[in-house]
Chains A and B, each alone.
Chain A
């Protein structure tokens, strides 16, 4: 069974950074791309970017370049997303999602991580 377990909710100060994790199990981590999605009341659902763990290749929605950095640790089957220079606009639920080839980039989802930016 494919499972994506995300790290816990975060309360962070404006201007700080936060790193969210997504631990994968139930499949070979390096064989599938991982995606990240933002959900906020104001902007709805937004695709942030993609990482291919096998070759450490990333691609980003232009809107999130400079804001999000995606990485993957093959030794622990974990994908990470770091968000920098946080503002209130970054307060949202963030999801990781796994590709199912020929089907969809978002076939399997993590449970979501709530990031609240507040002083």
Chain B
């Protein structure tokens, strides 16, 4: 199975700061069709995960443009510029290129 390793495990931030989360895959996430099925989710306390980014860098409907996904191959990053209170929670990367689909272990974005 593809292993997604997220760093850091916890990211203390001050509101208004930028935050950056890394997701590294144990193998390339480029599908044979040329797409890279790497996604990012945010799970706020007591809620279901919510989709933020799909196919590396595309924001889902309604997601603010302060969320920026980037990367290629097996190395990906989610940047959050100007962190706001509603951005706090646990972020997960996810891959749907290889079967079985797998999630990263999560990064908790918390206040300093």
Contacts and interface: CB of A to CB of B under 8 A. Distances in A.
A and B from one assembly? yes
Interface of A: 44-47, 61-63, 95, 103-107, 109-112
6 smallest CB-CB distances across A and B, nearest first, come from A109-B48, A45-B103, A61-B100, A47-B101, A104-B54, A103-B54
Interface of B: 39, 41, 48-51, 54, 58, 60, 92, 94, 96, 99-106
Contacts, number: 47
Given A61-B100, A104-B54, A44 B105 contact: yes
A95 B48 contact: yes
13 contacts: A44-B104, A45-B103, A46-B102, A46-B103, A47-B101, A47-B103, A95-B49, A103-B58, A105-B101, A106-B41, A107-B60, A111-B48, A112-B48
Contacts of B49: 45, 95, 106, 109
Nearest to B101: A47
B53 to A, nearest CB: 9
Nearest to B104: A44
